[in-house]
Structure 1
Amino acid sequence: MTATRRAGSAALPATVAGVLLCLLGPAAPAAHADGGYRYWSFWERDAAGRTWTYATQGAATTTPADGAVQGFRFAVSQNSQDAAKPRGNADFETVCAKTPAKDKAKRVALLLDFGTPQDAPEGDTPPPARSVCAQAGADATTAELLARVARPLRYDSSALLCAIAGYPRTGCADQVSGSGDSAGVSPGATAPTAAATPSVSASDQEGGGPSAGVLVGLAAVLALGAAAVWQSRRRRG
């Protein structure tokens, strides 16, 4: 009887660990140090005009306000956390100084950064970065504004933004090896892109810690475990 009780007590930590694994999930795999995706990322400038923030929606569903500043950067990145930001400052007053305001229309400053030669697909040379002022109706999306000032745009069959102003000539969010060569994997929807930016949850924005629900569940499991240990010791006594 005693051996059985001891075995049950010894098995308790394993049981608790198993429940915790169900609650928290396995550890996320570490990102590979090499390789990534070659794609256009989509950014928004903060109200103060000092910081670029990775957009939480795609260009096709984002409706910027009049006076907004947005940017696109072509580069090889592993995910939204390490994505290269647009280079240079984009001041709305400067970019749109020569574009008169119109009734029932808005103006948005767009910074287009075509990236570096190291990130360019083989055979392509990135054009110089440029800032443009896009003007359209008040309900126009970023994608519609982009189409007014940076044609030709190229999309794939999944509405993934592949090229701005014809760059790059081929490919669409291709996965590349550490050497920068294409890994031969079809782009799919796994790469973050300007047309399909991955959503970010509140926990992601605050550092990716466990949610409140998980913490409550964790506390409950620990409490049950402690009660079981106390009950086992009481019976032995």
Structure 2
Amino acid sequence: MLVVLGAVLAVLGTGTAQAAGYRYWSFWEGSGSGWAYATQGPSLVRPDDGSVQGFRFAVSADSQDAAKPRRSPDFAKICADTPAEDGRKRVALVIDPGTATDAPDGETPPALRTACAQVPEDASSAEALASVAKPLRYGSDALLCAISGYPGSGCGEQVAQDSGGGRTATADASAPTSAGVATGGDGADGGGPSAGVLAGVGAVLLLGIAAVAQARRRRG
């Protein structure tokens, strides 16, 4: 059984090393205490006047390790030059394209920037973003793929950690399902072992159990 346990641990270790996470734009909501990973997609959120929303491009496995925007959610500072208007609301936006480490091959992330969107009172966060950061690019599954044209290609691809510490997109990548990324609908948290890893563990366990049973029959 120790051999079986060792095999299980090896499979789990391999899965963790090979699947570093997904490269995507995560969605955040700001407050006086900092940033909180959004529980709904930006097309579902209807922020109030005075809200701060953040978008951060990075590689992360799930909401627990997602990189936060590198600018504090300071509405007063971001919207200082945008006076209030009747029938409209102001939404402060922090758009953080991340670092070169998280950028796709051949691309350089633009500079972090902030903007004050002044939109109709019933506008969503997605509409506020579109008013200040075009062009936006969406995938066929309604994922937000690019803000202001960055990145130029790709959408929520899975990224593996190579032996040299670099990151490469996997061939069978699938988009993340976190609500912070999706532009519509409630998303499931992307944390935990992948289905492939769990299937591998199950196969190892079955083989181990069969081997133990066969050995016992021989001794009997």
Q: Structure 2 length as normaliser, TM-score?
A: 0.72
Counterpart of 1:210 in structure 2 is none
Which of these residues, 172, 184, 187, is aligned with residue 198 of structure 1? 187
- Which structure shows the bigger proportion of residues in strand conformation? 2
Counterpart of 2:196 in structure 1 is none
Per-residue deviation, residues 96-139 of structure 1 (Å, max 9, x unmatched): 11112110100010000100000000011001101100110110
Partners in 1 of 2:175 and 2:157 — Cα distance? Answer: 9
Per-residue deviation, residues 209-233 of structure 1 (Å, max 9, x unmatched): xxxxxxxxxxxxxxxxxxxxxxxxx
CA offset at residue 191 of structure 1? 5.6
* More deviation, 126-135/184-193: 184-193
CA offset at residue 194 of structure 1? 4.8
CA contact (8 A) 1:90 1:131 kept: no
Which of these residues, 17, 25, 33, is aligned with residue 40 of structure 1? 25
1:169-180 to 2 correspondences below 5 Å: 169-178=152-161, 179-180=166-167
Partners in 2 of 1:147 and 1:60 — Cα distance? Answer: 11
Per-residue deviation, residues 59-86 of structure 1 (Å, max 9, x unmatched): 0110000000110000000011110001
Counterpart of 2:205 in structure 1 is none
1:59-98 to 2 correspondences below 5 Å: 59-98=42-81
Structure 1, unmatched stretches of 5+, are 1-28, 205-237
CA offset at residue 189 of structure 1? 5.2
- Is residue 98 of structure 2 the alignment partner of residue 115 of structure 1? yes
Amino acid of the residue matched to residue 175 of structure 1? Answer: Q
Amino acid of the residue matched to residue 35 of structure 1? Answer: A
Counterpart of 1:101 in structure 2 is 84
Amino acid of the residue matched to residue 187 of structure 2? Answer: P
Q: Structure 1 length as normaliser, TM-score?
A: 0.67
Counterpart of 1:207 in structure 2 is none
1:120-139 to 2 correspondences below 5 Å: 120-139=103-122
How many residues align? The count is 171
3-state SS in 2 of match to 1:177? strand
1:148-187 to 2 correspondences below 5 Å: 148-178=131-161, 179-187=166-174
Is the radius of gyration larger for structure 1 or structure 2?
1
CA contact (8 A) 1:44 1:54 kept: yes
CA offset at residue 199 of structure 1? 5.1
Classify 1:71/1:194 alpha carbon distance in 2 versus 1 (closer, same or farther; 3 Å).
farther
Classify 1:146/1:159 alpha carbon distance in 2 versus 1 (closer, same or farther; 3 Å).
same
Partners in 2 of 1:131 and 1:189 — Cα distance? Answer: 25
Partners in 1 of 2:80 and 2:47 — Cα distance? Answer: 18
